[in-house]
Chains A and B, each alone.
Chain A
Amino acid sequence: MSKKKRFGVSEALSRGLSETINVVENNAGIYRNVVLPLSRIELDPDNPRKLAITLADVQQGLNKSDPLYQRKSEEFERLTELAMTIKSSGIINPIVVYKLGEAYRVVAGERRCLASILAGKQEIEARVFNEKPQGFALKLVQWIENTAREDLTLDERINNIRDILRAYQNQHGDISVTPTLLKNIIGLSLPQATYYVAVLNAQPDVQQMIENGKIRSLDKAAIICGIESPELRHQAISACITGCSLKELRKMIAHAKQNSKKHLMVDQAVKRGRAASRVNMGFTLKPRVIQVIVESVVDRAEYKKYADLFMKVDWSHIDQTTRMFKKLIEILEYESEIAYD
């Protein structure tokens, strides 16, 4: 007996309907998307991204006598590139603002604003927060906006975090800063948060190197901060400046801990790697390769006696193949020892 047909709304339509409803339920009233005249927009003087260039510079052009001329002209060049794309295809993401008196203050999107002015635009798409974000929330939005970009320096990032923590402590009292706290309020991974906490408490010499851009990587800075001996720290800083890799830096510190003879460590840091003592066998994604190797080996007269061992192997099975390859290596090592002894 055939089943009666059951009618219904197509899956695509039903998904479309529920998604639309969810968007409204989750977002209505929190902020609104509007088009704002650029003349009503002002930049946030406390924005963590330290752009040297100002609104006036963009409107009136750069002044060569400006002490920051060099930096500003670099920024201007990058803004011009962005302005070109804005001219051709507009801004892709709306900027984020909140209302401040008659004006709108930018939470995120300074460069997009400046570049839109350069592109000759009159208006800009914006997302307006219905309420002025609280100190902490404001900093957090700026942080999220800025960390997604790679061109922020370590110094700028550290200062962002300091500001966020200050805002957080203003709101929640003087709580001690632990990696877990940082992880929870900013959403970093625990290892990253641990690095940041270490760098936030950096010794003055390390801090200075971060400020003047000599140390630019978070993980290197964090490792160096962990060195208690000022002498060793100094050596690590120098090694870091001369372009020593993270791995080398780690090795150097580990070595120093084992060995109190300091001159040795410098040697280690300068030397790139140590003499190889074993052959790296590498790896393969294709277990069949191992099958070929195994079969070629057991094909040789002296290894024929091991052929039974590999008879029932399923060569499409990665774990099994790995085990059998290890077995083969053991056999080869054993046989070659006998042969050469």
Chain B
Amino acid sequence: MRVIAFLNNKGGVGKTTCSRTMAEYLSKVKKRPTLAIDFDPQCNFSHQYLKMEIDPAAPEGLMPPIHPDYDPQDPDHYDWDGRSSISEIFYGQGVVPYPTYIEKLDLAPGHAEKLLAAESVRKSEVVEKVHKQLANFLASPDVKAAYDTVVIDTAPSKGPLTVSVIKAATHIIIPSVMEEQPVQGIYGMLQLWMQESLSREKNRPLTLVGILPNMFKQTRLHKDILTSLQENTAIGKYMMPVKLSQRIVFAEIDSEDANPHSIFDFQENHVAKQEAMEVCEFISERIFTNE
């Protein structure tokens, strides 16, 4: 099972759009049974596929709706409130993924309050309570049997949630806008990649697929920063030769009643679709080389 995570501790660099595009490519185009996981308390990734609800206990936060399989009459469900998010892994509860409108794609949505609580666990407990939980969950036989790929959207942080993702991932991708501050975010993520790589066994490497130039505009600033990263011998190897441009269509398909709802439902010659295909094909080739 491949576990692909999109990371950057700077917000607004397009982690959610990239996660979404990749998850839809794998499930829709490649027909691979895919699990999308939303590890960001903002729950934007979840909102693409589910009607997230306002949590009455925490008005700022979102929580998943009642699961379609939930039956209050079912004696098996007596201790379940009918909602299930990925954050259940921190509370010893089972995670029940939600089906989405895409046949091969399931979603383990986020839960703002519970994810934030996990992020603020005391330092002394964080290793046991947070860092290892996602890896344990993904290693369970049920998950392995059901899915062939997992795509994780992460919070813009270097905190326990992101570390938990890094510990569970097999492949990471760092999307970044070609501007100074997001590039600093690349540094933060490379540090985490280094720490994790140096604590892993040889047969379980954490592969950095690459740095993906995202929301790219044909401006001098973006072009110059991209060139300077490509020209650096160490970083250049990890700069993906593909990129996603800044396009309004990615925002348009986000809205609830958008039609089409997926970039892959556009016509073949649609420029944004072509670009998304190129990026996803590149990542996919890298990730599934040994298959």
| A residues lining the B interface (CB < 8 Å) | 4-10, 13-14, 16-24, 27-34, 130
Task: Name which of A17, A19, A29 has the most chain B CB atoms within 10 A of its CB.
Answer: A17
Residues in A whose Cβ lies below 8 Å from that of B233: 18
For the complex, what is the distance from the CA of A29 to the CA of B235, rounded to whole Å? 20
For the complex, what is the distance from the CA of A219 to the CA of B233, rounded to whole Å? 47
Interface string of B209-236 (1 = CB under 8 A from A): 0000000000011001101110011110
Given contacts A17-B187, A18-B235, contact A8 B198 (CB under 8 A): no
12 CB contacts below 8 A, A to B, read A6-B224, A7-B220, A9-B228, A16-B187, A20-B187, A21-B235, A21-B238, A24-B193, A28-B197, A29-B202, A32-B199, A34-B199
Residues in A whose Cβ lies below 8 Å from that of B238: 21
For the complex, what is the distance from the CA of A129 to the CA of B224, rounded to whole Å? 42
Given contacts A17-B186, A18-B235, A20-B191, contact A4 B220 (CB under 8 A): yes
Residues in A whose Cβ lies below 8 Å from that of B199: 32-34
For residue B232, give the distance in angstroms from its CB to the closest CB of chain A. 6
Residues in A whose Cβ lies below 8 Å from that of B198: 23-24, 27-28, 31-33
Count of residues in B whose CB is under 8 Å from the partner chain: 30
Give chain B's interface secondary structure class: helix
For residue B41, give the distance in angstroms from its CB to the closest CB of chain A. 27
For residue A99, give the distance in angstroms from its CB to the closest CB of chain B. 10
Residues in A whose Cβ lies below 8 Å from that of B197: 24, 27-29
For the complex, what is the distance from the CA of A10 to the CA of B289, rounded to whole Å? 35
The reply to whether the CB of B184 lies closer than 8 angstroms to some CB of chain A is yes
List 4 other contacts, CB 8 Å, given A23-B194, A28-B205, A29-B205: A6-B220, A14-B232, A20-B193, A32-B201
For the complex, what is the distance from the CA of A18 to the CA of B225, rounded to whole Å? 15
For residue B68, give the distance in angstroms from its CB to the closest CB of chain A. 43
Residues in B whose Cβ lies below 8 Å from that of A13: 180, 183-184, 187
Given contacts A7-B224, A28-B197, contact A130 B234 (CB under 8 A): no
For the complex, what is the distance from the CA of A8 to the CA of B235, rounded to whole Å? 14
Residues in B whose Cβ lies below 8 Å from that of A10: 180
For residue A62, give the distance in angstroms from its CB to the closest CB of chain B. 34
Q: Is the CB of B190 within 8 A of A8?
A: no
For the complex, what is the distance from the CA of A34 to the CA of B191, rounded to whole Å? 17
Q: Is the CB of A20 within 8 A of B205?
A: no
Q: Is the CB of A21 within 8 A of B234?
A: yes
Residue of A nearest to B202 (CB): A29
For the complex, what is the distance from the CA of A130 to the CA of B200, rounded to whole Å? 9
Residues in B whose Cβ lies below 8 Å from that of A28: 197-198, 200, 205
> What are the 4 closest A-B residue pairs judged by CB atoms, nearest first?
A18-B234, A7-B224, A8-B228, A28-B197
Q: Is the CB of A17 within 8 A of B234?
A: yes
For the complex, what is the distance from the CA of A29 to the CA of B205, rounded to whole Å? 7
Q: Is the CB of A130 within 8 A of B232?
A: no
For residue A41, give the distance in angstroms from its CB to the closest CB of chain B. 18
Residue of B nearest to A22 (CB): B234
For residue B204, give the distance in angstroms from its CB to the closest CB of chain A. 9
Q: Is the CB of B183 within 8 A of A24?
A: no
For the complex, what is the distance from the CA of A67 to the CA of B17, rounded to whole Å? 73
Residue of A nearest to B200 (CB): A32
For the complex, what is the distance from the CA of A234 to the CA of B74, rounded to whole Å? 98
Across the interface, A9 reaches (CB within 8 A) one of B183, B190, B237, namely B183
For the complex, what is the distance from the CA of A241 to the CA of B259, rounded to whole Å? 95
Given contacts A17-B187, A21-B234, contact A9 B194 (CB under 8 A): no
Residues in B whose Cβ lies below 8 Å from that of A32: 198-201
Residues in B whose Cβ lies below 8 Å from that of A21: 190, 234-235, 237-238
For residue B207, give the distance in angstroms from its CB to the closest CB of chain A. 10
Given contacts A17-B190, A18-B232, contact A9 B180 (CB under 8 A): yes
Residues in A whose Cβ lies below 8 Å from that of B225: 7-9
